[in-house]
Every structure is written in C-alpha cells, then in structure tokens.
Amino acid sequence: MTPNRLRKLKEWLIEKAILLSGVFSVIFVLLIFLFLLREGFSLFRGESVGDFLFGKSWYPISDPPRFGILPLIMGSLLVTLGAAAISVPIGIAAALYIAEIAPGRLKEGLKAGIELLAAIPSVVIGFIGMITLGPWIKNLFNIPTGLTALTGSVTLAFMAMPTIVSIAEDAITAVPRQYREAAIAMGATKWQTTWRIVARAARPGMVAAVMLGIGRVIGETMAVMMVTGNAAMIPSSILQPVRTLTATIAAEMGESVQGGAHYAALFAIGIVLFVITFLINGVADLYLHRSRR
C-alpha cells in the first residue's frame, strides 16, 4: 500500500470512530429513556397519569397502594428552588469577583478551592449537613427536627455552587477584553463596566451555568436523602421535612418487588425526572442559541 493510501485509510478510520462515538452517546440516552418507559409504563395500566402526577399521597406498600407523587414533586421543587435562591446570587457574584476583581494569586487560590468543592463526594457533604447543619437549624428555629427542606437547600446550594461559579467564570473571562477597554475609555467606572458590559455580554453563559447548577441539584440524591428528613408529604413551609423524587427511588428500589406496581412506579418517577432535566437543558439550549444569534 502506498503511504498516501495508508494515510487516507487512517483518516477514514479516525473519522468513522469519532462518528461512532457520537452516535453511541445519543443511542445510549435513547435506550435509557426507552428502558424507563418500558419499565414505568406498566404502572399506568392500573393507575391514571393524573392520579400519579397529582395524587396527594404516596403509600406504596399499604393495601391498596397509593402512588401519588405530588408530595415528591413538591419536595424536589422546594429543595431546588431554595438551593437556587442561595447558590445563584452567591455563585454569580463569586464568578464576577474571581474573573474581574481578584488579583492573580488570590484568583488561582479561589479557583482551586471551588474545584475542590466540586470534588467532594456528595455523601460527605450530606454527612456534614446532617451532623452540623441539621442540629443548628433545629436549634435556630426551635423545631422538632433539623432535617428539613431548608437543610436540603443549603446543602445542595454547596453542590451547585462549583458548577455555577466555574461555568459563569469561564463565560465572563471569555468576554472580549476590548469591550472592557471600550467602556473604560468612555469613562465608565470599574463597577459600571463589570455590571453593564461584562455581565451583559456573558449573560448566555451565566444562564447556562445556572441551568446546569439547577440540573445538578434536581438530580442529586445522596446528600438530599441524608438531610431532608424523607417524609413524603406535601410541605407547608420550608422548615418541614420533605422527600424528593430522587431520594424516593434510591430509598425504595431495594425493597420493591421486581415487576410489581411499586417497582413500575419508581421507574415512572424516573421518567418524570428525565423529562424535567430534559426541559431544563432544552431551556438553557434555547437561550444560548437565541442569544448567540
């Protein structure tokens, strides 16, 4: 074989190998979704979708069992919104500080610290939340248990923060230097430049950062299971125990009968989670594309 043909073959092989990896990653997602659908759909032979989504009680092992996941959705929603309310402002502010203000060495130190935070296993964060944050919240608000939605929100805020900070920081750093110079040359102060030009130009990236952070919070299981108290009831305040969608699956999968209604219900919860994450990613994507144009 001539060297030229060899090179062509190599190019062809590499190209196809990359194509294959790309196709596979999509296929895997599709297969996961199909699997979820197949396992979860058998539930809806005996249960209506409305009763499942909006039913107010989750008693999977009582007789007859009741599979209403509204309390779980509310739990996830409350914990997620709380975590977002804490982590988004702090995360964006931290990203602005690191990208725009912090001097060289402090900047490197902070970035390393944030990355380290991302590397802490969620069970460790959950453990710390359970033994330090829980009792503290219990005493602070004088409530019977410290394992509440608020505890979950604070714990999860710590887990969303690294994602938000590092992606938002990248977006801010990617704003062309010339924008800053143009603003400063017109007599803008540092703060005016940062807020009105840099933050505005980096907004698509910041939205993506927030969305991915929230995605992480919704999908998080271990920490949230340890600190939220796991009571499957509709919470009336953020100081009550809740149970999230993810924690329900993790906690009950082991004790459900394979192929039974309970088992199918857990998979149906998986479908709901999948749809939620899909929607969040879709919104982030839409926003990114619209702003880029």
| Residues at the contact surface with another protein, assessed by CB under 8 A | 178-179, 181-189, 192, 196-197, 200-201
Nearer to another protein by Cβ, of 49 and 182: the residue is 182
Nearer to another protein by Cβ, of 184 and 251: the residue is 184
Nearer to another protein by Cβ, of 66 and 203: the residue is 203
CB of 291 to another protein, least distance (A): 9
CB of 181 to another protein, least distance (A): 7
CB of 198 to another protein, least distance (A): 11
Nearer to another protein by Cβ, of 199 and 222: the residue is 199
**SS3 string of the chain?**
CCHHHHHHHHHHHHHHHHHHHHHHHHHHHHHHHHHHHHHHHHHHHCCCHHHHHHCCCEECCCCCCEECCHHHHHHHHHHHHHHHHHHHHHHHHHHHHHHHHCCHHHHHHHHHHHHHHHHCCHHHHHHHHHHHHHHHHHHHHCCCCCCCHHHHHHHHHHHHHHHHHHHHHHHHHCCCHHHHHHHHHCCCCHHHHHHHHHHHHCHHHHHHHHHHHHHHHHHCCHHHHHHCECCCCCCCCCCCCECCHHHHHHHHHHHCCCCCHHHHHHHHHHHHHHHHHHHHHHHHHHHHHHHHC
CB of 185 to another protein, least distance (A): 5
Nearer to another protein by Cβ, of 13 and 174: the residue is 174
CB of 187 to another protein, least distance (A): 4
